[in-house]
Amino acid sequence: MIFTKTRVFVALVGSLFLGSIGGILMASTNPTNAESSSVDSGKPISTSALNIVNKEGKVRATLSLWDGEHPALIMGDGQCDRRASIAVYGKERTGLTLYGEDCKRRVALEVQSDDLPTFVLRDHLDTPRVQIVLSKDGSPIVRLLDPNGKAVWEKP
Q: What is the band of 38 on the pLDDT scale with cuts at 50, 70, 90?
A: low
d(CA 95, CA 85): 8
Residue 111 burial (C-beta neighbours within 10 Å; 0-12, 13-18, 19+): middle
Domain ranges of the chain: 2-31, 48-155
Architecture of the 48-155 domain: Alpha-Beta Complex (3.90)
pLDDT at position 121:
98
d(CA 117, CA 93): 9
- Mapping DSSP onto H, E and C, the string for 107-156 reads EEEEEECCCCEEEEEECCCCCEEEEEEECCCCCEEEEEECCCCCEEEEEC
Higher pLDDT: 121 or 7? It is 121
Confidence check: pLDDT of 53 > 90: yes
Higher pLDDT: 153 or 15? It is 153
Q: What is the band of 75 on the pLDDT scale with cuts at 50, 70, 90?
A: very high
Residue 145 burial (C-beta neighbours within 10 Å; 0-12, 13-18, 19+): buried
d(CA 45, CA 49): 11
Angstrom CA distances, 70 to 27, 50, 81, 101, stand at: 42, 14, 19, 26
